[in-house]
Amino acid sequence: MTVQEALEQFRSTVKNAHALQHAMGVLSYDAMTVAPADSAEGRGETLSYLSGLFYEQMTGPALKEAAAVLRENKEQLTPLQRREIEMFDRDNEYLSAIPAEEYVAYTALLNEADAVWHKAKAESDYASFCPLVQKIFDANRRFAGYYRPELDPYDVQLDQYEKGLTKERTDAFFSALREKIVPLLHRVMERPQVDDSFVKGFFPIEKQREFSDWLMQVETIDRNRCSIGETEHPFTTGFNKKDVRITTHYHTDEVLDSMFSVIHEGGHALYELHSGDELEGTLLSGGCSMSIHESQSRLFENLIARSRPFMKVLLPKLRELFPEQMAGVTEEMLYRAVNRAEPSLIRTEADELTYSLHVMIRYEIEKALFAGEITAEDLPRVWNEKYKEYLGVDVPDDRRGVLQDSHWSGGNVGYFPSYALGSAYGVQILETMKRDVDVDACVGAGDLAPIAAWLEEHLWKYGQTMDPLELLEKCCGAPFDPAYYTDYLEKKYSEIYGL
């Protein structure tokens, strides 16, 4: 096989694998947005079949042979091609280590778990979900063992979402956060609470949908390439640069939850929509890692949409859509309301200050489950204990406790640290951006295009051509430093709560 033939073989097999991923992705998106409740069984069979075909394509002899030829002739490849082979080797080594039938069974398991989790959450019935969550954790631990029996399986798991991430690094990061955040939160809690009563009340879904459209427009999202759907748990998925989907969840009794979901998922979408053109269809398109992905979603959600200048843009729109609720509300009142810090039950609704504590709880539970220190049966008890310990709140039911997130039912085990890391990356990225862009002026004018353009130029366009810390350093001109994040929180909340 010549290098040219190998390249063509590689390209066409990757294209076939993408087609299968696309089909599976749309089946899953459909399942979570609009499919009838009883449709899981037939979809499970279809997903099993497609995942078997995907496994065949990605681990089959055609692609391996082509990759071997390319690996042996690296000097004839472009840097992008070399990077792609490297990425293929990583993914392929993990995938090939899993027996085909286990891979297919795992796909079917996730499809079942999604349906069961939806019902379990609605009915606050953890017992029905418990055996599935155990199976999902077991499968992930087994897969990690097949792939790197010499490593700690949870380290393998973390590395899947964030190349190079380990328990050691995560522990150190969370320890640095905890040291700053916990005393800061205690000081905040001693101060009088800010008023956010005007964001509660009755907010009709139709008006909230209109609000979402406006938010996506302000965020510079091209609606011809990105749609919005409604799901139990908000998420973003993308099939290619011209087909990205975000979702939200509307609550009629308040307005901020969906608003921040839309902006958060919109940040993910922007990253996917602006991946480099030359990477499209290769293994290098899309986001670099989940932490870098979360850095973008959290940047838009918190650093932009929870900033003081954004209130100049937000308040007039809220007044237009919800004139009664917003009567008498000033920009300052709104700014304080959207930044109200308070220990609470739900991660996605948490303020910036307590957010990382929610993430730490999940991280510690995953670690303990992977280490065999606890089983799925212990989850509600451990969850509730940790919420009491870290946040001082009593969890009234599993719906608002261990069943709140869709990550475990979706097989995203080891994902959670990405949220906290991403929040920290985001602050460092924004501080860097401020050297080139007058961020406050842009945000205050409701013109986010210069911000998006900077991110595209310094981050989005690179796709997966670098590992996360390498990309972050290239973007920021300095290595990752969590102090940017803790300093930001300290300054922001000291000012709001007059510490």
Residue ranges binding a second copy (CB under 8 A): 15-16, 18-20, 22-24, 26-27, 29-30, 33-39, 41-43, 45-46, 49-50, 53, 206, 222-227, 229, 239-240, 242-245
Q: Which is nearer to a second copy, 244 or 304 (CB)?
A: 244
Give the residues across from 240 on adjacent strands: 243
* One-letter amino acid for residue 434 of the chain: K
CB of 31 to a second copy, least distance (A): 9
CB of 499 to a second copy, least distance (A): 45
CB of 270 to a second copy, least distance (A): 14
Q: How many C-beta atoms lie closer than 10 Å to residue 353's C-beta?
A: 22
Q: Which is nearer to a second copy, 84 or 272 (CB)?
A: 272
Q: Which is nearer to a second copy, 18 or 362 (CB)?
A: 18
Q: Which is nearer to a second copy, 14 or 469 (CB)?
A: 14
CB of 15 to a second copy, least distance (A): 7
CB of 456 to a second copy, least distance (A): 18
Q: Which is nearer to a second copy, 222 or 378 (CB)?
A: 222
Q: Which is nearer to a second copy, 51 or 289 (CB)?
A: 51
Sign of CA dihedral 338, 339, 340, 344: positive
Q: Which two tokens stand for residue 198?
A: 């005007």
CB of 237 to a second copy, least distance (A): 12
Q: Which is nearer to a second copy, 54 or 173 (CB)?
A: 54
CB of 146 to a second copy, least distance (A): 26
CB of 32 to a second copy, least distance (A): 12
Residues marked active site are found at 265
Q: Which is nearer to a second copy, 26 or 87 (CB)?
A: 26
SS (H, E, C) the chain: CCHHHHHHHHHHHHHHHHHHHHHHHHHHHHHHHCCCHHHHHHHHHHHHHHHHHHHHHHHCHHHHHHHHHHHHCHHHCCHHHHHHHHHHHHHHHHHHHCCHHHHHHHHHHHHHHHHHHHHHHHHCCHHHHHHHHHHHHHHHHHHHHHHCCCCCHHHHHHHHHCCCCCHHHHHHHHHHHHHHHHHHHHHHHHCCCCCCHHHECCCCHHHHHHHHHHHHHHCCCCCCCEEEEECCCCCEEEEECCEEEEEECCCCCECHHHHHHHHHHHHHHHHHHCCCHHHCCCCCCCCCCHHHHHHHHHHHHHHHCCCCCCHHHHHHHHHHHCCCCCCCCCHHHHHHHHCCCCCCCCHHHCCHHHHHHHHHHHHHHHHHHHCCCCCHHHHHHHHHHHHHHHHCCCCCCHHHCCCCCCCCCCCCCCCCHHHHHHHHHHHHHHHHHCCCCCHHHHHHCCCCHHHHHHHHHHCHHHCCCCCHHHHHHHHHCCCCCCHHHHHHHHHHHHHHHCC
